[in-house]
């Protein structure tokens, strides 16, 4: 279910980002088509260049005019540099405007009537977006009319025209220019204001695409108010819809998404620095991409570079850019949501570098101040004395200010010790409660928290609880076994006793014939033998369990003993047509064991097989000698369904079909287990479907 929710979340986020991206691209295209060809020039950006162009053209209509007036006090090297730089500025301005299809000009000498003009002069009366005139009288006073009025044409100075190209500085408080480290009076470097001059400038309504100064300082309407609104709407819509989607899903699903899960592993400072940088670059890049796409400049540049599908490439770039921007926005919003849901303090405490450093410092300090009551007290006291000695030594280094520090340290030490004492009291109460529970016999609750200086004692209480639980469990198990043993044995004892009683009564009757009496005596002897066997088995088990048993180990051949037990039970095995297949070394296996007890083990196993094996099947017996033990395995197919565990069949003294039988004590396997273990061996049972497997192992001494 969680994987399905995560998959739905990822698909929904991708679909949402795609819809937003496509919507923004369509809106961008719509704005581009509505404002196609509607352009305006930022005239203020080229005001200085227009002024230089006017001064350059003034020299055309007035041959005696020179732009700079340099005094005799100007050194020759600086004079030459100033004249060279000014000429370069004038020639650059001439190149920018003289052949521009987006600029019309007319410069007229009002005294002589001489003029120079260029561009479409009809713009002076119609179809222009800017037309301005600047008229200078005989004294150099200027009047300006039209769409653009600039103070650059009114307050002209050499500093204004030269500051971008030469190391020149000035101050209103000083009447000098600093040029290449030399002070020159302003009166020595003057700009000649044109006289008897009229300058007319015009810019057409619709510009012709050209790489000139006018075109470079052109804005589509979308560059201004429309572009700002578009980008604001784009960012707001993206953040709003993505934020709404992120907030809609539970954080438990979102944090399992691979990308978000990866970001969760990065420390907060690194993560926020990365997201902040990437988001700023993404939104700025998206803004530039949208603007240049809406103006058509990107398409034009791609066409000039010969890139195919120049109209489609910006659309693809916009889609990819918006998808990536939306993805990083989603990551940022998720981090904010995670921080708020998990807690601001917890977030910075656990997920930040500062939190990790502070946590490590705190843990080291707490480890330094830890006390283990099981350690030597001298070591503990020495550690604290050394800490205090270092702190007091540091305070003493501050001389008189150390008094203030000692007071502050004392206050802090008081609160620290009080906090530690409260922790000790709390830990003591936890241990005391645990002790009360143990005293009341409640073992289901244990200490799971850190109990500070009492940790060693807490661990011992846990061991006591585990020991009590184990002892109680063993006692209950033992009592249950005793109860079941008494119940089963009582049933076994009752059966032959009842038979003996019944046949004794029949023999006491007067009308019993000699033939019936003989039958009754045989049956009576059968029940007596069975009762005798049961009592002997009980004595054997009780001797082993009580440890009151004597062993007489001798070197005997285990394989020969198995064959002897098989031969003794051959009649029982033939009654069910069972075939025994023995797999053992030909020279046998010799080991020091008690002959009677070991024979009884094998006899009981063969007897058990004869009673409960499916007729007409094979019985497999194998004996192998391992370096550490001798292993004997008996395998047979059960006649009845074995709906019990291997432990039950030994511990509870039940038969394969869980029913009582007329013969046998019902504790044959218990005797096998007891006689095996008393000889330093092990006995185990394995059940696989109807396959019954008994494994006897004797450890090699």
pLDDT tens string 266-304: 888 888 899 889 988 988 888 888 777 776 677 777 777
- Tell me the pLDDT tens digit for each residue of 495-553: 777 778 777 777 777 777 778 778 778 777 877 877 776 677 666 666 666 666 778 88
CA triple 43-44-50, angle to 5 deg:
70
Q: Which fold has domain 550-699?
A: Heat Shock Protein 90 (3.30.565)
51 with 161: CB under 8 angstroms? yes
CATH number of 375-549: 1.10.287.130
For the segment 615-622, the average pLDDT, to the nearest whole number, is 94
Of the two residues 453 and 399, the one the predictor is more confident about is: 399
At residue 176 the predicted structure's pLDDT band, cuts being 50, 70 and 90, is confident
Domain ranges of the chain: 2-36+223-350, 43-216, 375-549, 550-699
Long-range pairs for 559-565 at CB < 8 Å and ≥24 separation? 559/584, 559/585, 559/588, 559/589, 559/623, 560/588, 561/595, 561/598, 561/599, 561/602, 562/602, 562/621, 562/623, 562/632, 564/599, 564/602, 565/599, 565/602, 565/603, 565/605, 565/606
Bridge partners of residue 583, in order along the sequence: 622
Residue 661 confidence (pLDDT):
44
Does 375-549 match 550-699 in CATH topology? no
At residue 665 the predicted structure's pLDDT band, cuts being 50, 70 and 90, is very low
How many CA atoms within 13 Å lie on the side-chain side of 134? 27
What φ, ψ does residue 211 adopt, rounded to 5°? -85, 60
For residues 111, 112, 117 and 123, what is the CA-based torsion angle, rounded to 10 degrees? Answer: 50
- Tell me the pLDDT tens digit for each residue of 357-374: 877 777 766 665 566 656
Tell whether the model's pLDDT for residue 107 goes beyond 90: yes
Long-range pairs for 179-187 at CB < 8 Å and ≥24 separation? 179/78, 179/82, 180/78, 180/81, 182/75, 182/78, 184/73, 184/74, 184/78, 185/71, 185/73, 187/71
- C-alpha–C-alpha distance, residues 683 and 646, integer Å: 11
144 with 154: CB under 8 angstroms? yes
| Residue count of the chain | 701
9 with 15: CB under 8 angstroms? no
- The least confident of 169-178, 384-393, 509-518 is 169-178
- Using a pLDDT cut of 90, give the percent of the chain over it: 17
Report the greatest alpha carbon distance in the chain. 179
Which secondary structure element, helix H or strand E, spans residue 391, and what is its range?
helix 377-396
Of the candidates 380, 688, 675, the residue with the CA atom closest to the CA atom of residue 696: 675
Burial class (CB in 10 A: 0-12, 13-18, 19+), 684: middle
Bridge partners of residue 220, in order along the sequence: 39
Bridge partners of residue 108, in order along the sequence: 115, 198
- C-alpha–C-alpha distance, residues 134 and 195, integer Å: 11
At residue 234 the predicted structure's pLDDT band, cuts being 50, 70 and 90, is confident
pTM assigned to the model: 0.40
Residue 198 confidence (pLDDT):
94
- 431-445, 543-557, 597-611, range with greatest mean pLDDT: 597-611
Residue 50 tokens, joined: 């227009």
Tell whether the model's pLDDT for residue 155 goes beyond 70: yes
Residue 614 confidence (pLDDT):
92
Which secondary structure element, helix H or strand E, spans residue 415, and what is its range?
helix 401-439
- C-alpha–C-alpha distance, residues 691 and 609, integer Å: 12
At residue 392 the predicted structure's pLDDT band, cuts being 50, 70 and 90, is confident
- C-alpha–C-alpha distance, residues 216 and 203, integer Å: 14
């Amino acid at each position: 279910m969680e994987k399905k929710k995560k998959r739905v979340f990822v698909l929904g986020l991708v679909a949402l980002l795609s819809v937003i991206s496509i919507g923004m691209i369509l809106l961008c295209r719509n704005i581009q088509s509505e404002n196609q060809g509607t352009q305006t020039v930022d005239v203020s950006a080229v005001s200085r260049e227009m002024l230089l162009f006017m001064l350059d053209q003034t020299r055309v209509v007035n041959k005696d005019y020179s732009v700079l007036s340099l005094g005799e006090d100007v050194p020759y090297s600086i004079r030459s540099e100033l004249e060279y730089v000014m000429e370069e500025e004038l020639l650059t301005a001439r190149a920018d405007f003289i052949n521009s299809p987006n600029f019309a000009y007319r410069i007229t000498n009002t005294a002589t009537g001489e003029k120079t003009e260029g561009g479409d002069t009809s713009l002076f009366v119609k179809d222009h977006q800017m037309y301005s005139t600047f008229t200078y009288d005989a004294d150099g006073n200027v009047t300006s009319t039209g769409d653009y009025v600039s103070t650059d044409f009114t307050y002209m100075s050499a500093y204004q025209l030269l500051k971008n190209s030469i190391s020149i500085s000035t101050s209103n408080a000083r009447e000098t220019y600093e040029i290449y480290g030399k002070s020159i009076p302003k009166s020595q470097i003057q700009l000649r204001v044109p006289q008897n001059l009229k300058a007319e400038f015009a810019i057409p309504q619709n510009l012709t695409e050209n790489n000139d100064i006018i075109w470079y300082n052109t804005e589509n309407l979308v560059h201004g108010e429309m572009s700002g609104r578009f980008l604001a709407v784009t960012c707001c819509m993206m953040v709003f819809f993505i934020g709404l989607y992120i907030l809609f899903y539970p954080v438990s699903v979102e944090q399992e998404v691979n990308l978000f899960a990866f970001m969760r592993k990065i420390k907060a400072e690194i993560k926020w620095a990365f997201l902040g940088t990437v988001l700023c670059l993404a939104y700025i890049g998206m803004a530039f991409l949208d603007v240049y796409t809406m103006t058509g400049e990107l398409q034009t540049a791609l066409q000039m570079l010969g890139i195919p599908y120049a109209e489609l490439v910006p659309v693809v770039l916009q889609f990819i850019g918006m998808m990536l921007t939306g993805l990083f926005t989603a990551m940022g919003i998720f981090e904010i949501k995670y921080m708020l849901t998990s807690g601001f303090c917890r977030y910075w405490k656990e997920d930040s570098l500062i939190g990790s450093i502070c946590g490590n410092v705190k843990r080291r300090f707490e480890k330094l101040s830890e006390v283990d009551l099981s350690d030597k007290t001298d070591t503990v006291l020495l550690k604290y004395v050394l800490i205090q000695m270092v702190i007091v030594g540091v305070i003493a280094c501050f001389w008189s200010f150390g008094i203030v520090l000692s007071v502050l340290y004392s206050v802090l030490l008081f609160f620290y010790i009080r906090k530690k004492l409260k922790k000790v009291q709390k830990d003591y109460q936890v241990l005391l409660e645990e002790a009360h529970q143990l005293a009341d016999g409640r073992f289901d609750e244990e200490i799971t928290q850190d109990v500070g200086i009492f940790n060693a004692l807490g661990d011992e209480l846990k061991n006591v609880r585990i020991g009590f639980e184990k002892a109680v469990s063993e006692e209950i198990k033992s009592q249950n076994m005793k109860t079941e043993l008494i119940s089963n044995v009582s049933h076994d004892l009752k059966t032959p006793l009842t038979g003996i009683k019944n046949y004794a009564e029949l023999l006491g009757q007067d009308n019993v014939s000699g033939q019936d009496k003989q039958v009754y005596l045989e049956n009576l002897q059968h029940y007596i033998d069975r009762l005798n066997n049961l009592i002997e088995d009980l004595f054997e088990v009780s001797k082993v369990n009580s440890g009151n048993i004597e062993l007489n180990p001798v070197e005997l051949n285990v394989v020969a003993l198995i064959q002897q037990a098989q031969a003794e039970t051959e009649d029982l095995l033939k009654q069910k047509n069972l075939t025994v297949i023995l797999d053992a070394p030909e020279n046998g296996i010799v080991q020091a064991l008690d002959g009677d007890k070991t024979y009884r083990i094998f006899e009981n196993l063969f007897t058990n097989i004869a009673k409960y094996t499916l007729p007409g099947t094979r019985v497999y017996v194998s004996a192998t000698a391992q370096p550490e033990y001798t292993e004997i395995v008996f395998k047979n197919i059960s006649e009845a369904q074995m709906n019990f565990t291997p432990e039950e069949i030994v511990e509870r003294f039940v038969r394969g079909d869980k029913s009582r039988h007329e013969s046998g004590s019902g504790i044959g396997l218990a005797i096998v287990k007891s006689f095996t273990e008393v000889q330093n061996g092990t006995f185990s049972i394995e059940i696989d479907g109807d396959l019954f497997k008994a494994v006897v192992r004797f450890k090699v001494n």
